[in-house]
A = this chain, B = another copy of it.
Amino acid sequence: MTTLRLAELNAAYAAAIDQDRLEAWPDFFTDDCLYKITSADNEKAGMQAGIVYADSRAMLRDRITALRTANIYERQAYRHIVGLPLIVREADGLIAAETPFLVVRITRDARTDLFATGLYRDQVVPADGGLRFRQRIVVCDSNHFDTLVAIPL
């Protein structure tokens, strides 16, 4: 069932990030893809750029390499709680879905705070014997999260 398969994809995606297996993160995308972090207000204002932008798996890999080198990300960890995907359209092997998420941040001094909430706007296709994101636009509800979004959302 599509909903369940998408939910499993999301569970695996979140686990890779939250358990610091960031090198596995680009594998959730197709070679040509769109990954973008933006906010609801930016979307309404028609701003295309996003806070983070990548249009290929290679760019996603570069991003992780940079993170590992900079080592900034080690000071914090995330915990994703991902809601059930709502399937918006399903045709010709392409699934368009919207999935709510909540991310808690755990800083190294062990404070826990509500870091971000929002909606994943996804286009998912079959690839490599599973499902991959051809598009994942991360629409954050607030503009006010740290401008330094080090770890992928």
Chain A residues proximal to chain B, CB less than 8 Å: 1, 3-4, 7-8, 10-12, 14-15, 18-19, 40, 77, 79-86, 98, 100, 102, 104, 106, 110-114, 116-119, 141-144
CA of A8 to CA of B114, assembled, Å: 25
- Count copies of this chain in the complex: 3
CA of A10 to CA of B84, assembled, Å: 9
Main secondary structure of the interface of A (DSSP, over half): mixed
Establish whether residues A84 and B18, one from each chain, have CB atoms under 8 Å apart when the complex forms. Answer: no
* Extra A-B contacts (13), CB below 8 Å, given A15-B100, A104-B114: A1-B4, A8-B84, A8-B86, A11-B85, A11-B86, A14-B100, A15-B86, A18-B119, A79-B102, A81-B81, A81-B83, A102-B102, A111-B142
